Amino acid sequence: MSNKSLVWLFFLALIIGGTAAGIFISNTSASKDSTTIDSVNEVDTGATNHQMNHSSHGTAGAGTADSMGEAIPPSPSPSPEATAGTVQEEQATLPHPKSGQPVKGFTLTAMESNWELASGVTQAVWTYNGTVPGQEIRVTQGDFVRVTLKNELQVPVTIHWHGYPVTAGSDGVPGITQDAVKPGETYTYGFTADVAGTYWYHSHQESSEQVDKGLYGALIVEPEQSEQPDKDYTLILDEWMKEGGDAHGAHGSGSMSDEEMMASMYNIYTVNGKSGSLIKSLEANLGDTVRLRFINAGYRSHGIHIPGEFRVVSTDGQEIAEPAVVKDEIVNIAPGERYDIELKINSPKDYAIEAHDDNKYNDQLVIPVKVSGSKGEEMEVQHDQLTAFDLYNYGKPAESELSKVQKFALEYTAVLNSKMNGNGQVYTINDKVFSELPALQVKTGDYVKLTFENQGTVDHPMHVHGHFFQVLEKNGIKVESAIMKDTVMVKPGDKIVIAFKADNPGNWMIHCHELHHAAGGMAQQLTYTDFKSGYTPPSNAANKPE
């Protein structure tokens, strides 16, 4: 049997093994010089979607804030005006734009393509509009966003707006908010972009496979009134398996864990779908202010080092109050997380943004920064005294509404672990997998406290749909800054306490965003008892809401 066959058989066994164990139930994006590398912008300011030209290549929030000032707390609830009227679209009840509201329309076509990931490495991928990542959706705060999904693949797909507090009907989780969109079908999503920040979208149907194959893109909501940077770059990080083998002997090694084997098998690291020499340079002028929007769409955390001074201005789309200047620090970005970093080009020399962590293929993840007039001269960078950036001791210490809550309507501890179930490994919450876990129940206005306790041996980046939460404690130590997120890394031995207000009625998911773990069972529902869904999952739909 070929290396290629062995690699894919092993990978499929991990997923199928978990599924066979009964894990999942079947029914149940213009600033000044704004740039996304290898992405095509399509913005229609009218009320009608506009189809971009494309072809298949193969067959295979935060409120507005001054950039140096204190952030206004986010308002995650959808605006009442945007939901005042609705139109029926397929199974979903969609928000309707209010009178006079700007409408930005997009069409995303799920399709097969061949994509050059690295020099000499072209693979069959699944895409939105023929590129990896898919078309960037970049809009302005206050716009109504209407996205039509067309499915030209041979499998059902959806679009989930990761981190964005859309109304429940547009969350894109099959079997929870809609049926998966079948081959040949179209489906329209709509929401008001009332929370500025960096977000992303991806399929939530069999996402461990579909995101892995390239079904993702960036959603950028620019503040309505804010000073814009001179350059604005979106940088989506990911990892891929090279077809044809080259798993570095991982398969069949009895001394390696599943996680170690997967870490070897994912052997191509990309930035905006390109690896190594194909990664496009970031262009800047001396004196420019540059905003870098990092999005991790993969399953590995990546430690990013930027030479010189910079500020971490946002995490998961939420502005950080009074971010300090840091230097010689590595910003670790977990799967599903986003970090916005601002820096000033103070040197006329070129340099590179690199990965510094224990990942195997970091030599492929190097982002060149070219400064106009440098004549190719490169900055000397020291790497021997780098320290880890600490988000939880950063920004202005402040009390928030959530940090003052004395009584929570729901307090729940989720113990994260794994176990063997039959011939496969499953990932558990309180020793149960998704299909065995009861939904967490809240009502509108409730305050909710969740504790994620990792008793396993691998990382779990936990993601909450539809809500921003505040990180209150890490390992028994209070977090003094009001850090708002939608995805939090829980490393082995960690105990992370978060809190949020139940202010977005619907049926939602809480799950690990190492998507193989979600496919393996580490997911649970959050439901509002005072919410009545307009969607009823049919008994015969192939919905797989991992």
pLDDT tens figures, 403-434:
999 999 999 999 999 999 988 899 999 999 99
Letter string b/e over residues 365-379, b meaning 16 or more CB atoms within 10 A of that residue's CB: bbbebebeebeeeee
Residue labelled with tokens 């164990």: 21
**Interacting residues of 131 by C-beta distance below 8 A, sequence separation 6+:** 38, 39, 40, 113, 115, 273
Helix then strand then coil, in percent of the chain rounded to 5, is 10, 40, 50
CATH class for the region spanning 103-226: mainly beta
Query: Do 203 and 120 touch, CB atoms closer than 8 A?
Result: no
**Model confidence over 437-448: pLDDT tens digits?**
999 999 999 999
Q: How far is CA 62 from the centre of its chain?
A: 17
In angstroms, the CA 76 to CA 456 distance is 32
- According to DSSP, the β-strands at 318-319 and 507-512 are unpaired
Q: What residues pair up with 498 in beta bridges, in sequence order? A: 450, 471
Q: Rounded CA gap, 49 and 137, in Å? A: 13
- Three-state SS string over 150-213 comes to EECCCCCECCEEECCCCCHHHCCCECCCECCECCCCEEEEEEECCCEEEEEEECCCCHHHHCCC
Q: Which amino acid is at 112?
A: E
Instruction: Determine contact, residues 178/214, Cβ cutoff 8 Å.
Output: no
Burial code (b: 16+ CB inside 10 Å, e: under 16) for 417-447 equals bbeebeebbbbbbeeebbeebeebebeeebb
Helices 258-265, 3-20: inter-axial angle, 10-degree rounding:
140
* pLDDT given for residue 257 in this prediction: 73
Q: How many other C-beta atoms lie within 10 A of the C-beta of residue 71?
A: 24
Q: Is the dihedral of CA 123, 518, 532, 318 positive or negative?
A: negative
Query: Which residue carries 């965003």 as its tokens?
Result: 513
The fold for domain 233-389 equals Immunoglobulin-like (2.60.40)
Query: What's the chain's average pLDDT?
Result: 85
Mean pLDDT of 483-500: 98
Q: Confidence class of residue 346 from pLDDT cuts 50, 70 and 90?
A: very high
Amino acid at 98: K
Kindly give, in sequence order, each residue whose CB lies less than 8 Å from that of residue 376, ignoring residues fewer than 6 positions away: 350
pTM: 0.84
pLDDT given at position 327 = 96
Alpha-carbon dihedral angle through residues 269, 272, 275, 277, given to the nearest 10 degrees? -150
Q: CA 61, CA 316: separation in Å to the nearest integer?
A: 9
Start-end of CATH 2.60.40.420 domains in the chain: 103-226, 233-389, 402-528
User: Could you read off the pLDDT of 259-287 as tens digits, one per residue?
Assistant: 788 888 999 999 999 999 999 999 999 99
Give the angle 527-191-315 at the CA atoms, nearest 5°. 75
Residues in a beta bridge with 444: none
Q: Read off the pLDDT band of 49 (50, 70, 90).
A: very low
| Burial class of residue 515 in the structure, from the number of CB atoms within 10 Å of its CB (0-12 exposed, 13-18 middle, 19+ buried) | buried
Pairwise CA distance, residues 285 & 97, whole Å? 40
The enclosing H or E element of 14 equals helix 3-20
Least confident interval from 161-165, 229-233, 372-376? 372-376
Own/partner pairs for 251-260, CB < 8 Å, 24+ apart? Answer: 251/3, 251/6, 251/7, 251/10, 252/6, 257/457, 258/14, 258/425, 259/457, 259/458
Specify the CATH class of 402-528 in words: mainly beta
512 falls in which pLDDT band (50, 70, 90)?
Answer: very high
pLDDT band at 93 (very low <50, low <70, confident <90, very high): low
pLDDT of residue 81: 33
For residue 5, the surrounding DSSP H or E stretch is helix 3-20
Find, among 393, 383, 427, the residue nearest to 23 by Cα.
427
Nearest to 98 by CA among 79, 116, 112, 111: 79
Per the CB < 8 A criterion, the answer to whether 326 and 383 are in contact is: no
